[in-house]
Structure 1
Amino acid sequence: MSPAMIFNIHLVLGYVPWLLCFAAYIWPRLRSMEPIEAQRAIATLHSFRFFGLVFLIPGVVGPDLAPAFASFAAYGDFATGLLATLALFTVARPVIFWPLVVTFNLVGVVDIVVDYYHGVALDLPGHAGQLGAAYAIPILYVPLLMITHVAAFYLLARSTRRQLTAT
């Protein structure tokens, strides 16, 4: 089996256990929480996205990935992580917290979608070995991040609908 096929299998199957875990354990808990607490939990997970800066450390990923793929991925993750952390610092001020929640989720989704686009355009599966130690990020970490972004938007929409029907 080629490295590209293995990478693609890993990428697709990375979503399967996270979706199963999310459906069984995380989603029921998030749905039962107050909206601000659910978004706080999601922001806490995303506050660790500073880890994406590892793509910029020489030797962690191969030099072929650094300029085209790694830079956008690193800075997109870093921006999302900073915005999520800012949201956590402002949880006591909902007027600031909610816009930051929307912003970090938008930036985070755009980051992941553009990273997938760059990955396809640059044939990342064919160069999966260039990911080096960072190989686990798109396989294990990114699926959970994308799933929680979708959940965050769903919870935001649900919360907005409830507020509109209550008034």
Structure 2
Amino acid sequence: MSPALIFQIHLVLGYVPWLLCFGAYIWPRLKAMDRVEAQRAIATLHSFRFFGLVFIIPGVVGPNLPTDFAAFAAYADFATGLLAMLALLTVRTRSLFWPLVVAFNLAGAVDIIVDYYHGSQAGLPALAGELGATYAIPIVYVPLLMITHVAAFYLLVRRETQAARTLPGGTAAADGISG
């Protein structure tokens, strides 16, 4: 098998164990949590994305790693991590917390999607060895990050919808729901 094919298999199969683990252990817990606590848990995971700067450290990655891919991945990860940290720091100020939750999830999801696109355009599968010590990031870490972004968006929409159906004082809104 070629290194490119092995890398592509790794990319796809990296999602399988995380989806199984997430479905069995993480998702039930997140759904049962208070909406703030669930988003804090997700933000905590994403606060480690400062580590993405490793993509631009010579010697950690190979000299032939496409610069456009590496720079975008590094700085977008860094920005996402900082936004997640800011969300965690502002949890008591909800008017700041919620926009930062949305911001880090948007920035992080766009980062991953654009990284997949840049990697494909730059022929990254054939150059997978140039990832060096960072090879495990797209295979092991990125699938969990993407899964948690999807979960965060779902929880934001789901919880907002449920909350919007109930008026202050616990009465149901006039949309056919009895309370």
Normalising to structure 1: TM-score of the pair?
A: 0.98
Partner of 1:151: 151
Of structures 1 and 2, the larger Rg is shown by 2
Partner of 2:67: 67
Which one has the bigger helix percentage?
1
Partner of 1:10: 10
Do residues 50 (structure 1) and 88 (structure 2) align? Answer: no
Following superposition, the deviation at residue 60 of structure 1 comes to 1.0
Partner of 2:79: 79
Deviations 1:130-155 (A, max 9, x none): 00000000000000000000000000
Following superposition, the deviation at residue 66 of structure 1 comes to 4.9
Following superposition, the deviation at residue 67 of structure 1 comes to 1.6
**Regions of 4+ moved over 3 Å:** none
Partner of 1:96: 96
Q: Which amino acid aligns with 1:105?
A: N
Structure 2, unaligned runs of 5 or more: 168-179
Partner of 1:128: 128
Partner of 2:38: 38
Provide the rounded CA distance (Å) in 2 between the counterparts of 1:68 and 1:152.
28
Q: Which amino acid aligns with 2:166?
A: A
Q: Which amino acid aligns with 1:78?
A: F
Q: 1:151 aligns to what SS in structure 2?
A: helix
Q: 2:18 aligns to what SS in structure 1?
A: helix
| 8 A Cα contact 2:52 2:75, kept in partner | yes
Q: 1:166 aligns to what SS in structure 2?
A: coil
Q: 2:14 aligns to what SS in structure 1?
A: helix
Structure 1, unaligned runs of 5 or more: none
Q: Which amino acid aligns with 1:96?
A: L
Deviations 1:8-61 (A, max 9, x none): 111100000000000000000000000000000000000000010001111111
| 8 A Cα contact 2:47 2:80, kept in partner | yes
Following superposition, the deviation at residue 64 of structure 1 comes to 2.1
